[in-house]
Structure 1
């Protein structure tokens, strides 16, 4: 089988750690990287320093996208830059009948969802969205239990997600803190969670109502050492008074806790031109929320009760899925940064009538609960022929998760329930497209 030719739009930490490293190591026999595109030349230098084998590879600024395609003749486009850049590259790739792999979130607005869905319907290429959480062994087992009929028809889901004071705060140090670039955290982060629920229960979200607020970060944060803008952790004169910073350091030595996110939480300032990833979490220009509580209604009657909080003592989630024949429960706590002993994650199954069953799942190594390596296998080798159900996410799944996230923050701002179809600009719910 001939190698497929790949170009990468957005040479980010995720592109380096998730895709490029795997393509040069595990999938070298199947992949050839033929071009890189980014608005910042420093990212090319950073990439070549990490991966000397790529030195000399053609590089392009965004305005030379068409030149890159003509000169490198790729088969596949990988989109991994800042969220707000995804839509244009995805649409252009599909219009050229290329296959496209996009980091999540697929895009940041309902309008861009519409553009991508239309491009996918007309394209001979296929879009895959890299929802790695689906592939974590605990999550695939939950899907299998539902497919086996153990809970019957799903009626409701309770999902509470917690981010600790390291990971949660990191979003407010970086570009994610501007809604114009990330869509807000109900899109940038919560699309992971909404996609999991959508995929697990096999229903389409149609409406959301939510409350949300900026409680911890921004200039009004209760733990702000002083009302100043423009500070950076690396040079801040007040960091010893910042409880968020000192939670992970001491006065004599700055340390970093274990990071399961490919090193993309803390990035050296020299990695970029004119941008630092250690901006102050108490700056006044932060315009997104750090806390949400939402209810989502589905087309087959299920209801999701969802909350997420970006400043908690530990990280993880609690999940319950209820159905006409039983209930599934599980709880995850990220062990690397927890200040207490964390037991292995299990799934508890309660039939509607009968005794409790505790299911132990064999863990796998790798990021995102062992999901990253399995996702990469499907992306670069094709779907696992031994798997009996669809797991790779396509344009429809990407749109459903983004539209849910936009409905959540739109509801926060408007104080009313928001139907997903109004964000898509259509009178009907999103139509099915290939890729699931």
Structure 2
């Protein structure tokens, strides 16, 4: 029986981890401790899952006390991104297993610290990269692993975040690099991990450009240069294109946040507003990136991401010495302003006829990936699977290093060596 403590009672913690433990995996897993700095989050957790009423609640400084009193064996880390490293290191120091939401941490330096701590611990770090578990992404992995396209030579990955989803990052804490690492870490590490896993190569060097075009005070879409506005109470709602695109004049859920539990309002949590203005002057992270990544076995990645696009999804092409894989996903059809086709995977041999592959879908969040990763996390990896899907600390580290390199290259105008980010700096 895994005795699990949960650090950070976010909506992600409740729906992705706590609920499946209570409903599907309770025979092998038990929540024995809950931790958060905000007592209101604990109240909402218990209101949502009354069966947790008798489980002890702790604050961050009581982590070691919680572990001792509960006899915990496993720590689930679902707090704000920049706090992950603290709980991971403290848990490893006590030889506990760690399950961390992605990104594992927010800097390469902290990732290196996690790797070192894991080497000196009996505990193991797992990173919840649920994108790997999409049936489409698993099928792409199988096609590459089977040798169907030969040696991978290049990857083109263009990711699109729509105006609903993209603007949400600029309303919350994600817009502060100190908390999130910027979106090349908070969001793009998902995508970098996918590519690293698909092609089974390690990133070596990154060159990138990035900028802030759509959000922040200088945006041409900003109704006025005034700071301190909030969507729920703003007098300029009808002059804001982002607001008008998604909410009507009488819409009382205009400041709805997908990271709040259903039915909660803007005051659900202490000192947390998920509807800060996307045009505030303090915003300085980028909303657009293009990057090239060189891998240790010769592959090259051409990557882009834009956080203000009319529809959501991605376009992918993977080239190899024997052929090419292509696919396009429309992630949120209900928010796409035109009919979208069903996603398929095309295999085009270098010399021959195209094959169109229809993938068997899976129910559940994130394209059917969430239920599958939950099984691997709480029951152990599927022994019938001939390859690893569940990610560890090394995978988390390389994804973060690429994301940080994208930002640092953007700022410096220079290529960034991944090794330079993961090597301990000597004190002068």
Interval containing the TM-score (normalised by the shorter chain): over 0.9
CA distance in 1, matches of 2:216, 2:264: 21
Q: Deviations over 1:266-315 (max 9, x none)?
A: 96322211121111100111121000000001011100000000000000
Q: How does 1:230-241 map to 2 (within 5 A)?
A: 230-241=228-239
Q: Deviations over 1:187-225 (max 9, x none)?
A: 000000000000000000011000000000011111111
CA distance in 1, matches of 2:255, 2:275: 15
2:248 equivalent in structure 1? 250
Q: CA deviation at 1:99?
A: 0.8
1:369 equivalent in structure 2? 367
**1:288 paired residue among 285, 296, 308:** 285
2:51 equivalent in structure 1? 53
RMSD: 1.7
2:219 equivalent in structure 1? 221
Q: CA deviation at 1:236?
A: 1.1
CA distance in 1, matches of 2:359, 2:200: 22
Q: Give secondary structure in 1 for the equivalent of 2:363.
A: coil
- Alpha carbons of structure 1 residues 84 and 266: separation in structure 2 relative to 1, 3 Å: farther
CA contact (8 A) 2:4 2:33 kept: yes
Aligned residues: 424
1:271 equivalent in structure 2? 268
2:338 equivalent in structure 1? 340
Q: TM-score, normalised by structure 1?
A: 0.94
2:163 equivalent in structure 1? 165
Q: Deviations over 1:340-396 (max 9, x none)?
A: 111111000011111100000011111111000000000000111111101110000
Structure 1 window deviating more from structure 2 (125-134 vs 54-63): it is: 54-63
Q: Deviations over 1:202-258 (max 9, x none)?
A: 000011000000000011111111111111111111112111011111123345799
CA distance in 1, matches of 2:351, 2:122: 49
Q: Give secondary structure in 2 for the equivalent of 1:271.
A: coil
2:41 equivalent in structure 1? 43
1:383 matches 2:381: yes
CA distance in 1, matches of 2:255, 2:154: 36
CA distance in 2, matches of 1:377, 1:177: 32
CA contact (8 A) 2:255 2:266 kept: no
Q: Deviations over 1:124-158 (max 9, x none)?
A: 11110000000000000000000110111101000
**1:16 paired residue among 14, 20, 25:** 14
CA contact (8 A) 2:150 2:322 kept: yes
- Alpha carbons of structure 1 residues 343 and 186: separation in structure 2 relative to 1, 3 Å: same
CA contact (8 A) 1:330 1:346 kept: yes
Q: Deviations over 1:301-330 (max 9, x none)?
A: 100000000000000000000011110000
CA distance in 2, matches of 1:101, 1:229: 38
Q: How does 1:42-191 map to 2 (within 5 A)?
A: 42-191=40-189
CA distance in 2, matches of 1:106, 1:414: 25
CA distance in 2, matches of 1:384, 1:336: 33
2:312 equivalent in structure 1? 315
Unaligned runs of 5+ in 2: none
CA distance in 2, matches of 1:89, 1:171: 24
Q: CA deviation at 1:170?
A: 0.3
1:398 equivalent in structure 2? 396
Q: CA deviation at 1:57?
A: 1.7
CA contact (8 A) 1:17 1:262 kept: no
CA distance in 2, matches of 1:393, 1:315: 25
Unaligned runs of 5+ in 1: 428-436
CA distance in 2, matches of 1:336, 1:388: 36
Q: Give secondary structure in 2 for the equivalent of 1:222.
A: coil
Q: CA deviation at 1:50?
A: 1.2
CA contact (8 A) 2:35 2:57 kept: yes
CA distance in 1, matches of 2:65, 2:219: 47
Q: Deviations over 1:146-190 (max 9, x none)?
A: 011011110100000000000000000000000000000000000
CA distance in 2, matches of 1:95, 1:302: 37
